[in-house]
Copies of this chain bind each other. A is one copy, B any other.
Amino acid sequence: MREVSIVGFGQTKVGEHWDRSLRHLAGDAVLAAMKHAGIERVDVLYVGNMLSGVLTGQEHLGALVADFVGLRGVEAVKVEAACASGAAAVRQALIAVASGLAEVAIAVGVEKMTDEVGSSVTSGLAMAADADYETAHGLSFVAINALLMRRYMYEFGYRREDFAGFAVNAHANAVNNPYAMFQRPVSAETFARAGMIASPISLLDSSPICDGAAAVVIVPSKQARALTDKPVRIAASATATDAIALHDRPDPLFLQAAHDSAYKAYLQAGIQPKDVALFELHDAFTIMSALSLEATGFAERGRGVTLALDGEIRPDGRIPIATMGGLKARGHPVGATGVYQIVEVAQQLRGEAGANQVPDAHWGMAQNIGGSGATIVTHILETSDS
């Protein structure tokens, strides 16, 4: 396995793209990434997506996107792991290059959630959970997360207002990200007054329904310098799974797969949590931010929320998260999210994060979660000036 690096990326603004279809969004991101990397040749394309079948009646996105961007003929395939589909596609792309199978691979994540030609988004998202033993009994995906948050508050003695820091940080960072859906701040007071979705989860605990696509270009590290002055090395990539249904996990408040994939990644990169300058975690709901911080070594059990209360998650804090807005404010087009996270880590490590720049960022981590924690994919990136 040879070392691989990211030499280009592209992203669409996240939002409600009523004038852009799924193929247009994916195409915009892929073509932007190819232009950014200065390449015309691509050997293989991996498409991360969860919902195109049920929402727009379109599967077979590998061939669809390859054809649309002018890459007709190249190997192309779709990868699905619920909301972790984006990072799963990146992982397949890097394996293709690291193995020597391909010299240039692109991973694109795309989701078009505002078209509901088929099912509703709510029933679509519930496909990430156990259809027979959770969904069939009436649990929506937000309801599953509400059960987790309620239990967390009970176990560790928090009020729902204590989770405000996650939303406040995400929105503050999104203000400076032109690709973010919500480029406006929210206050703790606004958070406290937000309408309930599934108690104790409010609108401002939740990431939005939205459209978007992001793409990265991956090549062998040895070829990277010829393409860009700022290659970003992929130092680690790891996937772990867990029980798909919440009730099958010995301790629902511990994200075992987040722990397992993160610690596999730390080992691959040869680093420890304290070396991570920023962490693009999967803040689909505020409770997920807390659980992720705890499972990956940044907070003790029950103390993830405290990090937010103490301001340690801000760009100038101990472990910056959601530095470009996160799922909460940049937006969460589910199959695209994992690629957005990696693009944003790359921006930080290249020193291109503008007002949100984390100082002296050398290692950055991205973690993408499928379902309520059943598939978790972790990547660690490194600046190339090492």
Which residue in chain B gives the minimum CB-CB distance to A83?
Answer: B60
Contact, CB under 8 Å: B56 / A54: no
For window 34-93 of A, CB contacts with B under 8 Å fall at 50-51, 53-54, 56-64, 66-67, 72-82, 88, 92
Residue A241 is within 8 A (CB to CB) of chain B in the complex: yes
Given the known interface contacts A60-B375, A99-B99, A131-B56, the answer about A72 and B119 at a Cβ–Cβ threshold of 8 Å is no
Contact, CB under 8 Å: A127 / B53: yes
Residue A126 is within 8 A (CB to CB) of chain B in the complex: yes
For window 229-283 of A, CB contacts with B under 8 Å fall at 238-244, 248, 256-257, 260
Tell me if A's interface is mostly helix, strand, loop or mixed. Answer: mixed
- The CA-CA distance from A374 to B72 in the complex, in Å, is 9
What's the number of copies of this chain in the assembled complex? 2
Contact, CB under 8 Å: A243 / B127: no
Contact, CB under 8 Å: A241 / B375: no
Enumerate chain B residues within 8 angstroms of A62, measured Cβ to Cβ.
Answer: 80-81, 241, 375
Residue A326 is within 8 A (CB to CB) of chain B in the complex: no
Which residue in chain B gives the minimum CB-CB distance to A124?
Answer: B53
Contact, CB under 8 Å: B239 / A75: yes
Residue A19 is within 8 A (CB to CB) of chain B in the complex: no
Enumerate chain B residues within 8 angstroms of A380, measured Cβ to Cβ.
Answer: none
Distance between A50 CB and nearest chain B CB, rounded to angstroms: 6
Contact, CB under 8 Å: A88 / B77: yes
Residue A95 is within 8 A (CB to CB) of chain B in the complex: yes
**From B21, B60, B128, contact of A132 by CB (8 A):** B21
